[in-house]
A = this chain, B = another copy of it.
Amino acid sequence: MIEYKNLNEPIYLKLKEMILNGELKQGEKIIQEKIAETLGVSRTPLMKALLALENEYLVESIPRRGMYVRALGKKEIIDIYVCREALEGMAARLLALSKDTKVIEALKACFYPFSSHKKINIDAYSKADEKFHSLLIKLTGNEPLDKIYFFGNIHEKVIGHGLVRPPEETLEEHFKIINAIEEEDPDRAEQYAREHIKKSRALLLDQ
């Protein structure tokens, strides 16, 4: 079977990168013609990418006024963490019920490099963390769930490239979630996944 690739994905990816690394600032207006020119495309495929990003909560459209890089206030960030708590909690539950050994392997693999109790590279751990949370959703095989879970992007944007809490604290929590899944205990898997997000949320709320 032939694989048809999305032709305007490169535009979408480039724009997303520009938003996440701050090349396009929060609240900044996206002047279509200007961006289209810098990307070397016309407004038509650019608009498709912008609409996709609007649905990922990265861009906000005001009719007849234009598209703006979404500015995330404290409330929005907290609200997103509430959504994550619900979705990742459910994902952990589903995985605990799945009885799939490959799931456990994949999740554990994220943190193999950090299990030796040596000094932890923050940047590498940050990537592993993002991978873990994304995998938690993807491994469920629930496509609608994956579709509504687009908050991974936000993560970087909120904290820069860092983490909400130090690895020493979260590594253990990650393994608690994985172990509950391995022991096929859906209630504990969900509970731990939710507590994990909730703790980060509480910290963000204080700042």
A contacts, CB < 8 Å to B: 4-7, 44, 47-48, 51-52, 55, 57, 62-65, 76, 79-80, 82-83, 85-87, 89-90, 94, 142-145, 147-148, 151
Contacts and interface: CB of A to CB of B under 8 A. Distances in A.
23 contacts: A4-B62, A4-B64, A6-B63, A7-B64, A47-B48, A48-B51, A51-B51, A55-B55, A55-B147, A57-B144, A79-B142, A79-B143, A82-B90, A82-B94, A82-B142, A82-B145, A83-B87, A83-B145, A83-B148, A86-B86, A86-B89, A87-B87, A148-B148
A64 B151 CA distance: 28
Nearest to A143: B79
A185 B123 CA distance: 41
A143 to B, nearest CB: 6
Contacts of A90: 82-83, 85-86
Given A86-B87, A90-B82, A90-B85, A7 B63 contact: yes
A82 B79 CA distance: 20
Contacts of A51: 48, 51-52
A5 B63 CA distance: 6
Nearest to A150: B148
A2 to B, nearest CB: 10
A76 B4 contact: no
Given A48-B51, A89-B86, A90-B82, A147 B63 contact: no
A79 B94 CA distance: 11
A82 B141 CA distance: 12
**Closest 6 interchain pairs by CB?**
A86-B90, A148-B148, A55-B55, A79-B142, A4-B63, A86-B86
